[in-house]
Amino acid sequence: MFLRVDKLQIELPAPAQQDVNAASALQELLGGKYGEMSTLGNYLFQSFNFRSKSKLRPFYSLVAAITAEELGHVELVSNGVSMLANGPDEPGADTVGPTDITGAPFEMMKDARLAAGFLSHGGGAVPIDSNGLSWNKDFVTTTGNVIFDLLHNFHLECGARLHKLRVYETLSDPTGREVCGYLLVRGSVHAHAYALALKQITGVEIEKMLPTPNIPLANIPESQKYLEEGSHRRLYTFSPEDYREVAGIWGNGEMALPDDPPGELEVVEGMPEGGKIQELVGEPSAFTPDYAPEEMYEIATKLYKASR
């Protein structure tokens, strides 16, 4: 089962401005071949299909715990896409009455790289890549062979880090760069974890291949606070009491990668502290929310008070 918490894994800074093409670029980290939908889909179905769970518990727990984190990464990237597509919140904008739409208030959107981002999704994120191609099940590998699946996952995380770097290099907005900076750190953790799991099974010191590609995180300003707080050394269980067996892989005196701040790897039971989710105020002229916004807010306020 999954427990949902009304936070993002980190708090994202507000976008500097509305930038629908930056949002399109960030979509690659959601629905691209190496995007978060792919990492989630692979680990989710591998965990469902895992053979001999009780006998191979540490390896099952590793895939299961990372699955939960990847679900949060899908949420994080999706929020980043929506924030860039909509721009900074304008307090009170969702209480403005109907406007004259004959003046084409969203004329700029017809020239957007992914016009459907507005026309079909209202500036929201969907599982597509930066060209609007749908994410699909062909990006999921689940074989029932633990070594093959772990090796595939290692490859997937290495590819995802290259993905994130290239998207980072196309963005200047703080929202998109924060998403990339954080995910570069966490992707490094996951690649390291799968490498250590393969080392335990096969004896091959695959972690010596890291970082692949060679992306020194010290060169990414947005990654620094996560390195300083030790995020590169932490693996979360995302559960109050399950999946603790992952400590047999991510622990036992294993150390951080040589290019990262030194320290011993640690398992954290539970999840990161997290940060708030952006408000994303409505846009009445785009019918979000529809009908009579002031009446909807009044009803919602009454329902909220009744629930307390």
The whole-number pLDDT of residue 97 equals: 62
Q: What is the tens place of the pLDDT at every residue in 81-122?
A: 999 999 999 888 887 766 788 888 899 999 999 999 999 999
Residue at 116: amino acid letter: A
Q: Quote the DSSP letter at residue 134.
A: B
Q: Nearest 5 degrees, angle CA 110-CA 79-CA 1?
A: 135
Report the alpha-carbon distance of residue 57 to residue 169 in Å, rounded: 39
Are 285 and 98 in contact by the 8 Å Cβ rule? The answer is yes
Regions of the chain short of the pLDDT cut 50: none
**Distances in Å between the alpha carbon of 221 and those of 8, 67, 218, 246, 269?**
21, 27, 7, 30, 28
Q: What is the pLDDT of residue 88?
A: 94
Nearest one of 119, 124, 116, 133 to 28, comparing CA atoms: 133
Share of the chain above pLDDT 70, in %: 99
Contacts of 4 (CB under 8 A, 6+ apart): none
pLDDT score of 293: 82
CA distance linking residue 23 with residue 171, whole number of Å: 9
Cα maximum dimension of the chain: 68
Rounded alpha-carbon distances, angstroms, from residue 236 to 52, 266, 274: 23, 9, 12
Per the DSSP assignment, residues forming a β-bridge with 8 are 275
